[in-house]
Structure 1
Amino acid sequence: MCSLFDVDDHAGIERFVDEHGIAHPQRMIFGRRRRPTSQVSIVTARHGTAEIENAIWHLYLQRDGDGWKPHKKYWSINSNWKKLGQRPEYRKSRCLIPASAWVESQHGDNPVEFSFGEHAPFFFCGLYKTWGDTLSCSIITLDAHPDTKKYHEKSFPMIAPEDSGFIEQWLGPAEDTMAFEPYLHASTEVGGKQLMVQPVERATSTEYTAAAHVVN
């Protein structure tokens, strides 16, 4: 489960989204250790053009007076790839979530931070829903990669390849999801950058306890 991630404003994320032709980079919400149910930035093309929008990181919401809040009965910060076929959002409401790192642990112990290269920006693949004027989102999780199971045996977030064709198709309106089947497995490399791992003091901490090294 991906339950903490970074959107570091020193990682070149605004330039990264601009290079991908994504509008409104000034809307980006930055911060390290972004937590579930908080506001995060996502990329959608629901208005015809890829743009930054902001969403609650929790796919299912419920009424809260005149607004919306995370649904207390359905913990939905992640969407498991095995259930994607049951989700209309996978066919109709796919999104990307800019990030620079994420944190995992093994049964709550020995937390580590994952990133690509020198904290290069990347996109999680996700789903979104609309609730009136409010958006919500989740991160798609895959089976763990063989090289990351020792750090987190349950899952690995779906990372978009650095491929403009994939990104355009992922955000596009086509409901046939067969083209995404080859990407539903974990990869420890994105755009030539290798996955790095670095132990941290606590999952929510940004203090490291050892040097980073390539996952293998």
Structure 2
Amino acid sequence: MCGRLNVADSPGVKSLCDQLEITLWPEEGMLKKRFTRATDRVSIVMQHNGKSVMRNAVWWLLLEPDHRGPVMRFIPSKYTSFNTRYDKLNKRGSAGYQAFRQQRCVIPASGFGESQKRGSSMTYHDMIASEDTPLAMGGLYREWHGRDPHGNTFIETSCSVVTLAPHPKLMPIHEKASPLMLSAEDNSLQRWLDCAAHPVEALSDLLEPTIRHRFTVTPINKPSLYQPIGESFTIEPD
């Protein structure tokens, strides 16, 4: 997965948020952006005391403190971590090992983008999920505790998207990996989100590449410009 999300103010995203029964929303509201890239902030949903809450998090799992300036803040580390590979989830000492067990989250999204190198050029595709099959990306989150110059403590949240082995239907678009896509319709979303009720030993089937949504795929010239350069086509769920 190349590291860009489409989070539009769409019926599908609204429906998913309704299904999640979010009890606490971030003060700034849910972040919506057609072109959300790695290191941007994105809205995630997690469980806290048995209830779904939303936070806005940095899309880069590993952060480090930055003491420059009057206010200490956290910035993305030098280690690439906007995605967490499925084969690292059970590796002790990896960035996602503990989060996989205790801090799983989902990222409501309209769709995502993929890129692939063809010879010396790059190809780009946007994938938008049908409104009747709301998309949630399976992810991990971490919390970083800091203190400002006045002695006040604060928490910064970071996240990553879990990526799986390539899916055969996506190979022409991106042949290296596929994102973990979850749905409320088959209970995969609920299982991933509820860390207390569903330990990692019971989630092995979710780490198999599966397309649970119907996608409209459009070849585009560049993610930042979003100009179609070919006919759209459909990828059906498995």
Per the TM superposition, whether the score is higher than 0.5 is yes
Q: Which position in structure 1 is the counterpart of 2:10?
A: 10
Structure 2 residue aligned with 1:79, among 72, 77, 84? 84
- Which amino acid is 2:210 matched to? S
Secondary structure at the aligned position of 1:37 is classed as coil
1:202 is the counterpart of 2:222: yes
On the 8 A contact 1:20/1:164 being kept in 2, the answer is no
Rounded Cα–Cα distance in structure 2 between residues aligned with 1:200 and 1:33: 13
Q: Which position in structure 1 is the counterpart of 2:107?
A: 97
Rounded Cα–Cα distance in structure 2 between residues aligned with 1:55 and 1:138: 9
1:176 is the counterpart of 2:199: yes
- Note the C-alpha offset of 1:18: 1.4
Rounded Cα–Cα distance in structure 2 between residues aligned with 1:121 and 1:210: 25
Deviations 1:24-81 (A, max 9, x none): 4572100111011111100011343111111000000000121100002x11000000
On the 8 A contact 1:18/1:25 being kept in 2, the answer is no
Secondary structure at the aligned position of 1:45 is classed as strand
Q: Which position in structure 1 is the counterpart of 2:143?
A: 130
- Note the C-alpha offset of 1:172: 2.1
Structure 1 residue aligned with 2:116, among 106, 121, 125? 106
Secondary structure at the aligned position of 1:115 is classed as strand
- Note the C-alpha offset of 1:143: 1.0
- Note the C-alpha offset of 1:160: 0.9
On the 8 A contact 1:115/1:197 being kept in 2, the answer is yes
On the 8 A contact 1:197/1:215 being kept in 2, the answer is yes
Aligned residue runs from structure 1 range 115-194, under 5 A: 115-117=128-130, 121-132=134-145, 133-163=155-185, 165-174=187-196, 176-190=199-213, 194=214
Rounded Cα–Cα distance in structure 2 between residues aligned with 1:67 and 1:207: 36
- Note the C-alpha offset of 1:95: 0.4
- Note the C-alpha offset of 1:167: 3.0
Larger Rg: 2
- Note the C-alpha offset of 1:164: 7.1
On the 8 A contact 2:181/2:212 being kept in 1, the answer is no
- The sequence identity of aligned pairs, in percent, is 30
The 1:205–1:11 alpha-carbon spacing in structure 2 relative to 1, beyond 3 Å, is farther
- Which amino acid is 1:46 matched to? H
On the 8 A contact 1:14/1:25 being kept in 2, the answer is no
Unaligned runs of 5+ in 1: none
Rounded Cα–Cα distance in structure 2 between residues aligned with 1:119 and 1:149: 25
Q: Which position in structure 2 is the counterpart of 1:88?
A: 98
1:61 is the counterpart of 2:67: no
How many correspondences in the alignment?
A: 212
Q: Which position in structure 1 is the counterpart of 2:37?
A: 35
Rounded Cα–Cα distance in structure 1 between residues aligned with 2:122 and 2:132: 23
